[in-house]
Structure 1
Amino acid sequence: MGMDARIPQKTDPAVAGRGWRLANSEPSLSDVFGSIRVRRSGTFWGKLLAFLGPGYLVAVGYMDPGNWATSLAGGSKFGYALLSVALISNIMAIILQSLCARLGVGAGRDLAQACRDAFPKWVSWPLWLFAEIAISATDLAEIIGTAIGLNLLFGIPLEIGVLITALDVFLILALQALGFRWVEAFVVALLGVIAACFAIQIALANPDWGAVIRGFAPTTEIVRNPDMLYLALGILGATVMPHNLYLHSGLVQTRGYGSSEAEKREAIKLSTIDSTFALCLALTINASILILAAATFNAAGNHDVAELDRAHALLAPMLGSAGAPTLFGIALLCCGLNSTVTATLSGQIVMEGFINIRIAPWMRRLITRAIAIVPAALVTIWYGPKGSGELLILSQVILSLQLPFAIVPLVMFTGSRAKMGVFVAPRWLTLAAAVTAAVVIILNAKLVLDFIAGG
């Protein structure tokens, strides 16, 4: 899977459809477009290996620091009962991300380009603005999560930790200079560290595995108990993040899969397998957070643990190991670092896709980082840890508000034969995606209304 093996992947109107207002003028992520070689022959597993990577970058968004609070709260308050909600959320994510792969390969467009090419400017430009706000909110959550990780591990004040996160721009630039496979390897390595940290902590916690298995089966109690329902809505509503939809539809095009119908169909299949495997890993890690909270906090009678720093402080006495809080902090820090990488890439896809303006990746990174760092630094300096937590919640609300503007166009485009040609999504998949979209949007709307009413 060497680099610099760029293979033209032009959109064939006869294959990809003619229903676009504008032609697709520039490839997505042009600096790495088609740069990873895909073998034309060989075994299935050899071909799949070339496609493994983008899904794991996408999976990062499903386990970012903003999702940890809901898993901690759900496990500490209701034990293993909400594991079924995590499973359902993951199934929804798999459906939507499969459509992203189909759009990127079949139409030769990322979601931002598709919006630009399908809608008039008075529609696409507001969509671009909403997407930029959402990515800034995403970056904001990752900054705070990383800063909390630095604070827990090294005692670095939150306001200093927020400023330190700006240095990750140099790490990302160095990895991109080596090749896109290095970016993917970095993300996968950190995911491995996160998984190992939770595996050790769960082994120390020794959960009730029978209750864990039963927790994956949905129960009517979730609907009947208002408090449980609220946390279930939080887990479901925070699952799909807008930037992941833009990100995946661009990342799949880093593979040099060719331009024929057969090659693209195979690329869609292999990319979908990649994202499905990766999201199963995300489910494992999210479930691990909930299981850990259930086996420690809930079992000990602590039913109101949702803050990351409080969870960190309680782990040592409950697990009987001084190293448990350190493992928790390492996992959180790795999670924050990973998320900043994906936020950068999705920011590049959105800016270039919507307004067709190309700027250097380092400039793109500095712009998004500055937009996110300023409010994070001001709040943490002025209000301290409490303000950081409130800012983290606000960032999730902003993401919820933006979600319909990303998820609805995705389902519309991939279900349109005029735009997708022979790669149009099957009707059953479009129906499943439409139901998923409706559920996620309704739940997000409820969370936003609850936030407003509670504020």
Structure 2
Amino acid sequence: MFEPSAMNPNDDSWRNKGAQPSLPEVHRSLRVPMKGSWLKKFLAFAGPGYLVAVGYMDPGNWATDIAGGAMFGYTLLSVILISNLMAVLLQALAGKLGIVTGRDLAQACRDHYSKPVVIGLWLLCELAIAACDLAEVIGSAIALNLLFGIPLIYGVIITVLDVFIVLLLQNKGFRYIETLVIVLIFTIGACFITEIFFAKPDTSSLFAGFIPSHRIVTDPTMLYIAIGILGATVMPHNLYLHSSIVQTRRYEQTELGKREAIKYATWDSTIALFFALFINAAILIISAATFHQAGMTNVTEIEQAYDLLTPLLGTAVGSVLFGVALLASGQNSTLTGTLAGQIVMEGFLNIRMKAWLRRLITRLIAVIPAVIVTAVAGESGTTELLILSQIILSFQLSFAVIPLIKFTSDKSKMGKFVNPLWVKLLAWFVAIIIIGLNIFLLYKTFFG
């Protein structure tokens, strides 16, 4: 293991022996023009941020957003906004780490920590990816059940097929995956814009909801839901993903080239994350404008929301659009989840295997428990499994955030690109909030 002090972004000697690029099959495969307008360069970088953003709008977020809107109206919109701002900062740091060092977060951990620590971090990350994948599998299966009447257990099995979709698209080029993800994001957005039109929310109350209220802290139930929203919004595996996929761009390996790459990659992820903010806010807004307004404060499950939207909105289109958006969300998240699985295994362990085999393993880790629980406990069991997946994600988040801030704040690793003091302070403040709230969530879940 090399000493951390030897890690210099301008010197490859700090790399582990035999180190390979992250996602070697697409590494530096997309050319960035050296000349031309800023718009042309930005468009060359646009894409990775949207792959990251889908993790912030996956089916695991839906239940907490629905419950928050039904119980407390628009009040928790401020929590969604704050969570999103935290995500913007952390994803910007992840992108910078990948661009400057040429290492994704998993590889950087492997270079820096001892082997037992690396194995521990890898196991925790695999658990988080499996938990996130579980939420996506169940979300897609619920959507197939609601839209087409396909039994949940068959819907879960069908989701295995998207492994081959990812493989096909990646063989054609990374831009194809990015394009599909962006199309699905805009599909989800269009569905929710239409839903909001039918729901007719109270705009003054809606905008007031983005202003933090003291009630969030003083009301234990509201605080619990708020922490659940935070835990479901800031996804740990997305930090590994972003630090890798920014390296698909072939930018100049100079100080100026890296500064430009950091700037455009940060713009890309920030803009994409505001799409995720809109999606999550839209789910809560629709829940508040329909269920809370009608006095149905106990709506907490996706299936309940689907069944109740048609009579409350006065049109069957409402429920259909909700189901289509859920299906698009689940499929979108599985595309990026399988990529994250490959990045984590290759980064932590330096194990290379066929892309289709790695993705199949990742998918089966999520599908097998989902099939068992669905077969044994039915729909109620899948709801409990969704909740469990979010708790696991909350637990693992700190183990990704702390190394990320530590590495990007270390001059021996980042050189001239090290975090300035204000970014260090802000990042550690965010980390402390995340760690504190997640410890509280875990305590309340098991003992409260």
Normalised by the size of structure 1, how large is the TM-score?
0.95
**In the alignment, structure 1 residue 392 sits paired with structure 2 residue 386:** yes
Match for residue 100 of structure 1?
94
| CA offsets 1:373-402 (integer angstroms, 9 cap, x no match) | 111100000100000111111111111221
**In the alignment, structure 1 residue 204 sits paired with structure 2 residue 159:** no
Counterpart of 2:439, as a letter, is A
Matched residue of 2:380: which SS?
A: helix
- Alignment partners' CA distance in 1, 2:307 and 2:324: 14
Matched residue of 1:94: which SS?
A: helix
| CA offsets 1:285-340 (integer angstroms, 9 cap, x no match) | 10000110011101111111110000000000110111110000000000000010
Checking the alignment, whether the CA contact within 8 Å between 2:63 and 2:300 is kept in structure 1 is yes
**In the alignment, structure 1 residue 357 sits paired with structure 2 residue 381:** no
Map 1:181-330 to 2 at 5 A.
181-330=175-324
| CA offsets 1:85-140 (integer angstroms, 9 cap, x no match) | 11111110001001001100011110000000011112111111111111111111
Checking the alignment, whether the CA contact within 8 Å between 1:15 and 1:261 is kept in structure 2 is no
- Gapped runs of 5+ residues in structure 1? 1-11
Matched residue of 1:171: which SS?
A: helix
Matched residue of 2:233: which SS?
A: coil
- Alignment partners' CA distance in 1, 2:265 and 2:50: 11
Checking the alignment, whether the CA contact within 8 Å between 1:20 and 1:118 is kept in structure 2 is no
**In the alignment, structure 1 residue 148 sits paired with structure 2 residue 148:** no
| Number of equivalenced pairs | 443
Q: 1:231, CA displacement in angstroms?
A: 1.3
Counterpart of 1:45, as a letter, is L
- Alignment partners' CA distance in 2, 1:20 and 1:141: 38
- Gapped runs of 5+ residues in structure 2? 1-5
Counterpart of 2:387, as a letter, is I
Change in CA separation of 1:16 and 1:446 when aligned onto 2, cut-off 3 Å:
farther
| CA offsets 1:43-96 (integer angstroms, 9 cap, x no match) | 011100011111111011111111111111111111111111111111100010
Displacement over 4 Å in runs of 4+: 12-21
**In the alignment, structure 1 residue 65 sits paired with structure 2 residue 59:** yes
- Alignment partners' CA distance in 2, 1:48 and 1:338: 23
Match for residue 334 of structure 1?
328
Map 1:23-38 to 2 at 5 A.
25-38=19-32
Change in CA separation of 1:17 and 1:232 when aligned onto 2, cut-off 3 Å:
farther
Change in CA separation of 1:384 and 1:276 when aligned onto 2, cut-off 3 Å:
same
- Alignment partners' CA distance in 2, 1:111 and 1:375: 28
Which stretch of the first structure deviates more once superposed, 235-244 or 305-314?
235-244
Normalised by the size of structure 2, how large is the TM-score?
0.96
Match for residue 41 of structure 1?
35
Give me the identity figure in percent: 57
| CA offsets 1:349-374 (integer angstroms, 9 cap, x no match) | 00111111111110001111111111
- Candidates 427, 449, 455, aligned match of 2:443: 449
Matched residue of 2:300: which SS?
A: coil
Counterpart of 2:372, as a letter, is L
Counterpart of 1:437, as a letter, is A
Checking the alignment, whether the CA contact within 8 Å between 2:163 and 2:360 is kept in structure 1 is yes
Which stretch of the first structure deviates more once superposed, 64-73 or 437-446?
437-446
Change in CA separation of 1:14 and 1:131 when aligned onto 2, cut-off 3 Å:
closer
RMSD of aligned alpha carbons: 1.5
- Alignment partners' CA distance in 2, 1:17 and 1:404: 29
**In the alignment, structure 1 residue 376 sits paired with structure 2 residue 370:** yes
Match for residue 436 of structure 1?
430
